[in-house]
Structure 1
Amino acid sequence: MKYNKRQKAIILLSDGTIFHGKAIGNSGTAFGEVCFNTGMTGYQEIFTDPSYYGQLMVATNAHIGNYGTQKDEVESDSIKISGLICKNFSYNYSRDAADASLEEFLKENNLFAISDVDTRALVSYLREHGAMNAVISTEIDNLEGLKRQLAEVPKMDGLELASQVSTKEPYYYGDENATYKVAALDVGIKTNILRNLAKRDAYIKVFPYNATFEEMSAFNPDGYFLSNGPGDPEPLKTAQTLAKEILDRNLPLFGICLGHQIIALTHGISTYKMHHGHRGINHPVKNLLTGKGEITSQNHGFAINKEETENHPDIDITHVHLNDHTVAGIRIKNKNCFSVQYHPEASPGPHDSSYLFDQFIENIKNK
């Protein structure tokens, strides 16, 4: 198909609302839940974060692509978003450390993207009406056909996606002669989490999303980790069973994002789909144990029930989100377990939350 940077495109929301833009590169069509990230930088990390699997990403920053891409700035082996929506797309870049343009990166990963969108209007609409399914397409004369296809796209609520992004086979990360061994459940793990554990003298074995306790314990780990990931946590019954078995043995356990939700579900605390989620790198969190604030990176569309958590006899709330007072962290009383609803490995603070990895290692030392 003819390459055309200025081909007209549309965003069709599931409620019938339409926004207009222009295709970046070739014509195409992509479906997914449309959501937005408010980060000023980090677009390459966002696009490759498995937690964004199946989502159409709206970049609120006015300029995307101006610093190019760099092969080491990825969180997985491929792009995980289903499509990109932005205002101004930079075909050229000016960073010396970059090795390719964002345009080349998107083409290499076969990602359909559109620009010249009134992203302020779109984000305002999503803030008011909530995240919803949508389609981006250059088929501007096929609205009825697009509507029919969009109606068939499953909603994120109740959708299990961890199996789509998890490793198929176990693998190792770090120095095999490291002091500590960590068994990590991959329900959408980010590479930088593994880097943070490895630089704290840990050797990690990463297991598929449906691994059992018997399989993971055969590694003889000193601690267990439940990763971030996409989709609804409720359908992940095997992971919940795994967490319960780890907790029953009072082994060191640390969970991030989806892993945090799995730990909550294990204790009978329900989760819910948020109106439009938390996605950005400037989210304020308060550590209730120290009284200190943290600037955090967040990426989640689900959260745990605060009232149920407050009333649970075995759980302490350790962190709260200061914008909406949702639960941002918990610890299990009389158990070697804690979890957070944000990404300490992303370090937008830049080091506000890195202590959580140190805390996990200390829990392993003192088990």
Structure 2
Amino acid sequence: MTTEPAVLVLEDGRRFEGRAYGARGRTLGEAVFATGMTGYQETLTDPSYAGQIVMQTAPHIGNTGVNDTDKESAKIWVAGYVVRDPSRVVSNFRAQRSLDDDLETDGVVGISGIDTRAVTRHIRSAGAMRAGIFSGAEYELSATEQLGAVRAGAEMAGQKLSSVVSTRERYQVPAIGERVGSVAVLDLGVKTSTLNYLAERGLDVEVLPESVTVDEVLEIAPDALFYSNGPGDPEASESHVELLREVLKSGVPYFGICFGNQLLGRALGFGTYKLPFGHRGINQPVLDKLTGRVEITSQNHGFAVDAPREGVVDSPAGFGRVEVSHLSLNDDVVEGIRCLDIDAFSVQYHPEAAAGPHDSMYLFDRFREMVLARRESPAGQLPTASSEGDHE
């Protein structure tokens, strides 16, 4: 275990001394905390964590190592990584490398040995904020210089990061089993498991770069459109909002998750806002208002949709009736939207959580049924609450 010093510096001046972990140097980003006790590899390789210094609230991280199978993308995307006690050994038959090996290979500057509970409590009180990790030669900078670097960094509000994480070229993932249709996936930071789960529902998946135009989408003539998770401020993604509005007008069914939920909200005419410290982790309770069931969900979002929590309302942008379908049981944040007059719905969490939980996998089945219904009848609508049935 290294004894090289490192320091985490928050933009309000708080400093937390620890040990260097992963690559050495300087990194800047928004400091956030993730509450999952497992799934650290999926978190690190999730593109929607781009630009963020992620701190794990679970104290012991790295004991199962890393492998190539569980990666959600080709690289680690977090700007920096903070843990309390990194595992000294790797003990898992699936492990191919240690976690710190991958952090060093991908150039991710981290820190260990700090009181992550104290940092978490501070962020919960003061809110997510800019931060920096300094190790190696960067540790030798004065406290004033380090704080100046942090305060000169970009704030998450106003950032459009989809262009950083999106694919540069179109590519396909073929349907698995019986083919039921095709789906165009706008890659705003899509995860590998999302594409796999769509393909397993019999959908030919056409993955598109975030710069695609509405004409290019309609030229493909997909049976449905899907917006993925992704990093950044939804208010800075108006081009994606306008594209979605045009596709919705054409009658193509839509399903969005996370960032895709925020963009549907904006396309329908609602606003979005930044949460004080966001929801991140794989233990977030959500109420499905259609069934009354509580789902334990995986989440990573710092922004949310501002829409009426109760009742059916008219879309301010003219897309008919809309209702909030899911709510956070922690803070009443909107966790899902359901359109009643067009084939569109979305959720703010990750039903594709590869590390679990799997309570929300039924949403992919709901999307599949929407595609089937649309193909059978051009006027096909989302199933009503009474016809959707139970899910486990």
TM-score bracket, shorter-length normalisation = over 0.9
Within 1, Cα distance between the matches of 2:356 and 2:233? 28
Note if contact 1:295-1:348 (Cα within 8 Å) is conserved in structure 2.
Answer: no
Counterpart of 2:331 in structure 1 is 324
Once residues 218 and 309 of structure 1 are traced to their aligned partners in structure 2, the CA distance between those partners, rounded to angstroms, is 38
Task: Report the alpha carbon displacement of residue 303 of structure 1 after superposing the two structures with TM.
Answer: 0.3
The one-character-per-residue Cα deviations of 1:69-94 (angstroms, maximum 9, x if unpaired) are 01111111111001111100114210
Match of 1:341 among 344, 348, 366: 348
One-letter code aligned to 1:121: A
Cα 1:346–1:26, aligned 2, differ >3 Å: closer, same or farther? closer
Residue in 2 that maps onto 1:29: 26
Which residue identity does 1:29 align to in structure 2?
A: R
Q: Residue 300 of structure 1: SS of its match in structure 2?
A: strand
Percent identity over paired residues? 42
Distance 1:110 1:28 in 2: 9
CA shift at 1:188, angstroms?
0.8
Equivalent residue, structure 2, for 1:158: 158
Match of 1:352 among 343, 356, 359: 359
Please list every run of 5 or more consecutive structure 2 residues that lacks an aligned counterpart in the other structure. 315-320, 375-392
Which secondary structure does the structure 1 equivalent of 2:194 belong to? Answer: helix
Q: Tell me if the contact between 2:42 and 2:354 (Cα under 8 Å) persists in the aligned partners.
A: no
1:10 is matched with 7
Mapped pair 1:104 → 2:79: no
Give the deviation of 1:351 after TM superposition.
3.0
Please provide the CA RMSD for this pair: 1.7
| TM-score, length basis structure 1 | 0.95
Using the alignment, how far apart are the partners of 2:220 and 2:190 within structure 1? 19
CA distance in 1, matches of 2:139, 2:237: 38
Cα shift at 1:306: 3.4
The structural deviation recorded for 1:209 is 0.9
Q: How many residues align?
A: 364
For the 8 Å contact 1:319–1:328, the answer to whether it is kept is yes
Q: CA offset at residue 276 of structure 1?
A: 0.2
Q: Which amino acid aligns with 2:60?
A: H
Query: Would the aligned equivalents of 2:193 and 2:354 in 1 still touch at CA under 8 Å?
Result: no
Residue in 1 aligned with 2:222?
Answer: 221
Deviates most, 174-183 or 27-36? 174-183
What is the CA distance between 1:311 and its match in structure 2?
A: 7.2
SS at match of 1:221: coil
The yes-or-no answer on 1:92 pairing with 2:99 is: no
Matched position secondary structure for 2:337? strand
Instruction: Report the counterpart of residue 389 of structure 2 in structure 1.
Output: none
Q: In 1, distance between residues paired with 2:309 and 2:293? A: 25
5 Å matches for 1:175-324?
175=175, 178-307=179-308, 312-313=313-314, 314-324=321-331
SS in 2 for 1:239: helix
Structure 2 partner of 1:58: 55
Output the TM-score relative to the length of structure 2: 0.90
How far is the alpha carbon of 1:113 from its aligned partner?
A: 1.1
